[in-house]
Amino acid sequence: MSQKISIVCVSGTREKLQMAAMIASVAAATGDAVSVFFSMNALTYFIKGHSAGVPTEGEFGKLLAQKGVPPFKQLFKQAVELGDAKLLPCSMALDLLKITNNELDSEFGPPTGLTRFLSQSEGGQLLTF
């Protein structure tokens, strides 16, 4: 039986983005409907051409990079390719950052407001990172 999983990503740290991406990709690959809402510090890593490193919270974040664990951007992309995953940018964050949806990685869907995202998340699991 498939579930509806909604993930809110606002953190800009490697560990939190990695966990959100792992959940999204595994859930999508197993047939769950996944929606990921990106806002605040998380959104900037998905602007085309962004090359700044991702800060870590601790030693585990450093290990993720050192041991060749698939990076979070790759896992989010796989979630879209493998299953029913939607990556949604926060419309308010886009306005504040003065960027358009076209400036984001190609896997992203249309800008979405928080009210709409929460409404569409009703009846499923809601996770925040």
| CATH code of residue 82 | 3.40.1260.10
Q: How many domains does the chain have?
A: 1
Structure confidence at residue 74 (pLDDT): 95
Q: Dihedral of the CA atoms 102, 29, 122, 103 (nearest 10)?
A: -10
Contact status, residue 117 vs residue 35, Cβ threshold 8 Å: yes
Residues of the domain holding 115: 4-128
Per-residue pLDDT of the chain (129 residues; tens, 9 = 90+): 589 999 999 999 999 999 999 999 999 999 999 999 999 999 999 999 888 789 999 899 889 888 989 999 999 999 999 888 999 999 999 999 999 999 999 999 999 999 999 999 999 999 999
